[in-house]
Amino acid sequence: MSPRDPAADLRRIAFCLERALEPSYRVKAFRTAAAVVDRTPAAELAQRASAGTLTDLAGLGKVTALVVTESLRGEEPVYLRRVETLEGTPVAEGAARLRAALRGDCHVHSDWSDGGSPIEEMAQAARELGHDYVVLTDHSPRLTVARGLSPERLREQLDVVAALNTDLAPFRILTGIECDINEDGSLDQEPALLARLDLVVASVHSRLRMPREEMTARMVAAVSNPHTDVLGHCTGRQVLGHGRGGKGRPESEFDAEVVFAACAHFDVAVEVNSRPERLDPPKRLLRLAVEAGCRVAIDTDAHAPGQLDWQHLGCERAHLCGVTPDRVVNAWGADELLAWTSRAR
């Protein structure tokens, strides 16, 4: 393959990102890198690309160096391909395509914890929305304000779900939990019980303001737990106009590159939480997760049947951040999803 023009590829990426309303500081890296490529003799660029030393040039980072390398090889850079999908596609259309690909919802509460409706009503509403399945993820014991389920109540819930599933077939309620990530990074439920569940969402709900290093270690520990499948609402933020009298809640602080690298390594999906007061992760972090190669779960965190229809909000953000259906775990059918949650770790 004959080499492409790496500076042109970098500028094209910047253009596509700008059109997708990315903040200009995110885009600047690509324009800066293009200028570096302009200044560097072609022979030096080729030599550095094959030696893997492009990042020694000031102004080239890991992502932009990869773009240059692929471009010089004559390949359309993967990053460019991803942002090009934004091209000419109105946001609503891209989001609708993503929404149409979803076959279930992996984060749903019932009145067993802090939801407002019985399991059966949540399941029926999900089925009416066209889903093949929902994963029931009520809270874990330590979240007492949300009536977190003790091991006994969760075991009891498993029997109830099994009985409901015989009535609702072929629709399926998959068993699960939204498990608190304890301060030390351990999970707030008996490991043997977690092992029995179809899917585990792990979320931070307590001490959201702990120092950055501690929070990073806490989240990485949870992500590396062999029972964890999805990292729930990773920053814990509440956007302005909601929560705490409308003042919102700031994001918790952690090293997102480290946490998302762990998610990619342990094949844990990063949740796109569709709740309008959460919309978590924020776009800059979601794009980082996509770049890290993470899988994504676009979930509603519904606490009532009507909230199951919030997925389009998550889909819009996901589309803007370059998430494609092949990266989304709930674009799989139930069997594929279960094959993934029972992956060897």
Alpha helix segments (H runs only) across the chain: 6-19, 24-39, 42-51, 62-72, 78-84, 91-101, 119-128, 151-168, 191-196, 212-224, 256-265, 283-291, 311-320, 334-341
We find the least distance from the C-beta atom of residue 309 to Zn ion, in angstroms, to be 16
Which two tokens mark 177? 């939990």
Q: Which of 40, 110, 113, 203 binds Zn ion (CB under 5 A)?
A: 203
Say which DSSP state 302 is in: B
User: d(Cα 34, Cα 217) in Å, to the nearest integer?
Assistant: 36
Amino acid identity, position 31: R
We find the least distance from the C-beta atom of residue 108 to Zn ion, in angstroms, to be 8
Nearer to Zn ion, 127 or 278 (CB): 278
Nearer to Zn ion, 75 or 251 (CB): 251
Determine the size of the site formed for Zn ion (CB under 5 A).
3
We find the least distance from the C-beta atom of residue 203 to Zn ion, in angstroms, to be 4
Nearer to Zn ion, 99 or 107 (CB): 107
Nearer to Zn ion, 13 or 136 (CB): 136
Look at residues 195, 181, 177, 93 and name the one whose alpha carbon lies nearest to residue 137.
Answer: 177
Which two tokens mark 154? 């969760």
Q: Which stretch binds Zn ion (CB under 5 A): 3-11, 67-75, 200-208, 313-321?
A: 200-208
Does 22 help bind Zn ion (rule: CB under 5 A)?
A: no
**Window 168-187: residues binding Zn ion (CB under 5 A):** 178
We find the least distance from the C-beta atom of residue 145 to Zn ion, in angstroms, to be 12
Specify whether the CB–CB gap between 271 and 310 falls below 8 A: no
Which two tokens mark 141? 């014991």
**Window 248-307: residues binding Zn ion (CB under 5 A):** 301
Partners of residue 328 on adjacent β-strands = 296
Amino acid identity, position 282: P
We find the least distance from the C-beta atom of residue 251 to Zn ion, in angstroms, to be 14
We find the least distance from the C-beta atom of residue 182 to Zn ion, in angstroms, to be 14
Amino acid identity, position 192: A
Residues that bind Zn ion (CB under 5 A): 178, 203, 301
